[in-house]
Amino acid sequence: MSLKLDLRIGAEWRSGASTFGSTNPYTGKVWSEIPEATPQDVDDAVMAAREAFDSGPWPRMTVEERSGYLHTLADLIERDAGKLAELESKDNGKGLREIVGQIRAIPDWYRYFARLAAVQDGRVVNTAKPNFMGLVIEEPVGVIAAILPWNSPLFLLAFKLAPALAVGCTFVAKPSEVASTSILSFAKLIEEAGIPAGVFNTLSGENAEVGARLVGSRLVDKVSFTGSEKVGALVAQSAGSNLADVALELGGKSANIVFADADIDAAVNGLVAGIFAAGGQTCIAGSRGLVHESIYEEVIEKVVARARTIKQGDPLDLETDMGPLASALQFDKVNHYCDLARENGIEIRYGGTPSELGGQFFLPTVMVDVSEDHPVWCEEIFGPILAFQKFSTEEEAYTLANNSQYGLAAGVWTKDIQRVLRAAKRLRAGTVWVNSYRTMGASMPFGGVKRSGHGRENGVEGLREFLETKAIWIETEGATRDPFTVG
């Protein structure tokens, strides 16, 4: 019997006009029923958030009061972490081993932003006018519309929701039609935590009109989107027609650079983590391996040897390293790029074909000597394909790494601290990991440059995304002035 979910709109639970099935990528069977939101559901969800912001208690609470609710929510997430992780694994096929770790980390986001919001102060400004005092304060932006991806729904929701709630915003979340179950279920924890009705609302649907109507609403103050570059451009265009603010976290084609002095075993581990964890279905995937020519073959041989040992199977088995790809569409896309590589004579050192397990399983794939202009090197694939290229000089490494339309992340492997500092400056990426890869934390800002988007999540910068600055001029002497001049 499949799990049946409802929409959370204001104080109501709604079943939607109809339902569509969520297919478990491992079993190939429909396992949950997701409500299809109607245009009226979308309008009602936005109105519920609008009313909760304009006249409800949430923005008018003290920071300490809101923080109490966020700490309660964090406790509930901890309590249900195993259940929530299983829901996500059944939805998108990611290994339970990884998802459990993500879900157990999520409470840190709500607790961190609860603390951070409490120490945000305004300031008194010297106005350079003897009879005026200047105050600058920060206020919540208002109603937030969030469009979430399918690869890490609850984890990436926390990047947006935790700071937004902490400062007093209200929220409408629209998860991906590929993986809606965990976010719709999460709404029950919001209710259990006692957060007022209308503060957090959910919408879901296979019809693209659901998301389009949400981001195009005139009652939305800011749109926060995580997903593909193509859809992100449409979101920005739609929200921009209403002059709503937009934050975009888009694609990536990140370089993982291994210098000659690196700890090779550590770098190999980082290369594997960067692309084969989660089946490469992450925006930060280190899909381009740049290795110094002196250690190029050694590194590739070790990566291939490790790839051969990757265990594929049931995502709910904690011994599984890689589950199936999340959808048939994603499977076909990965297969297409491998076929294209073969047609163009690119050497596939390992993988490049579907796994013998069948279904949507695809082998971890290693390609070598991939040219800079080939689609495998240039385009985001969102799958377990690692493309290698060698370099001879440090300058060449930076040039190759930066020669991309994306700029989300990069990895650097070296023992030379001076090179570390040079690389951190030279690489055009929102995040640079040194002797590590895929490390995340609530206190460190995250976001990209170039076509990887704009705006930042997490850290102080992530909190400010949901705040607006207000300037207050206070006349102190009761003086009058010529009304036809600037004061």
Confidence at residue 486, expressed as pLDDT on a 0 to 100 scale? 85
> H or E element: which one contains 98?
helix 96-118
pLDDT tens digits, one per residue of 218-251: 999 999 999 999 999 999 999 999 999 999 999 9
Contacts of 460 (CB under 8 A, 6+ apart): 116, 445
Q: Which long-range contacts (CB under 8 A, 24 or more apart) does 343-351 make?
A: 344/374, 346/370, 346/374, 346/376, 349/300, 349/304, 350/304, 350/307, 350/308, 351/307, 351/384, 351/385
Cα–Cα distance between 10 and 198 in angstroms, integer? 4
190-214: burial string, b at 16+ Cβ within 10 Å, e else: beebebbbbbbbbbbbbeeebbebb
Pinpoint the residues of the chain covered by CATH 3.40.309.10: 255-434
- CA neighbor of 67 nearest in space, from 118, 129, 128, 1: 118
Task: Give yes or no for residue 162 having a pLDDT over 80.
Answer: yes
Structural tokens at position 221:
């103050």
3-state secondary structure 166-183: HHCCEEEEECCCCCCHHH
Helices and strands (H, E) in the chain, number of each type: 15, 23
Residue 374 near residue 344, CB atoms below 8 Å: yes
pLDDT average, residue stretch 120-149: 96
pLDDT-based confidence at residue 480 (cuts at 50, 70, 90): confident
**3-state SS assignment for residue 419:** helix
pLDDT at 1: 57
Residue for token pair 């704009």: 454
Buried b (16+ CB within 10 A) or exposed e, 291-319: bbeebbeebbebbbebbeebebbbbbeee
Phi and psi at 373, nearest 5°, equal -95, 5
Across the range 181-191, mean pLDDT stands at 98
In DSSP notation, 80-96 reads: THHHHHHHHHHHH---H
pLDDT at 487: 76
Q: How far apart are CA 250 and CA 404, in angstroms?
A: 14
Neighbours of 167 (CB within 10 A): 23
The CATH number given to 255-434 is: 3.40.309.10
> In this structure, are residues 199 and 59 in contact, taking their beta carbons and an 8 Å threshold?
no
Looking at the DSSP assignment, which residues form a beta bridge with residue 331?
none
What CATH superfamily classification does 3-250+452-471 receive? Aldehyde Dehydrogenase; Chain A, domain 1 (3.40.605.10)
Q: Please tell me the distance from the alpha carbon of residue 272 to that of residue 414, in angstroms, as a whole number.
A: 17
Alpha-helical segments (H) within 194-352: 208-215, 229-240, 264-275, 296-308, 328-343
The confidence score (pLDDT) of residue 2 equals 84
481, 146 Cβ separation under 8 angstroms: no
Positions of CATH 3.40.605.10 in the chain: 3-250+452-471
Rg (CA), the chain: 24
Give 181's pLDDT tier (boundaries 50, 70, 90): very high
Local confidence band at 271 (pLDDT 50, 70, 90 cut-offs): very high
pLDDT higher than threshold 90 for residue 193:
yes
pLDDT in tens, 272-302: 999 999 999 999 999 999 999 999 999 999 9
- The predicted pLDDT at position 425 comes to 98
Q: List strand residue ranges (DSSP E) for 37-108, in order.
A: none
The two tokens of residue 293 are 């020519």
The whole-number average pLDDT for the span 458-478 is 97
Judge contact between 470 and 139, C-beta under 8 A: yes
Over residues 56-107, the pLDDT tens digits come to: 999 999 999 999 999 999 999 999 999 999 999 999 999 999 999 999 999 9
What is the enclosing helix (H) or strand (E) of 390? strand 385-391
Per-residue pLDDT at 256 exceeds 70: yes
Taking residues 430-447, report their average pLDDT.
97
Give the whole-number percent of the chain exceeding pLDDT 90: 98
CB-CB contact of 67 with 166 (8 Å): yes
Taking residue 135's Cβ as centre, other Cβ atoms within 10 Å add up to: 14
Please list the active-site residues.
Answer: 249, 283
The stretch 113-122 carries a mean pLDDT of 94
For residue 49, the model assigns a pLDDT of 98
Phi first, then psi: what are they for 143, rounded to 5°? -85, 125
Instruction: Indicate if the pLDDT at residue 470 is higher than 70.
Output: yes
Average pLDDT, the chain: 97
* Chain centre to alpha carbon of residue 141: 20
| Residues whose CB falls within 8 Å of the CB of residue 280, separated by 6 or more in sequence, listed in order | 287, 381, 382, 383, 384, 385, 386
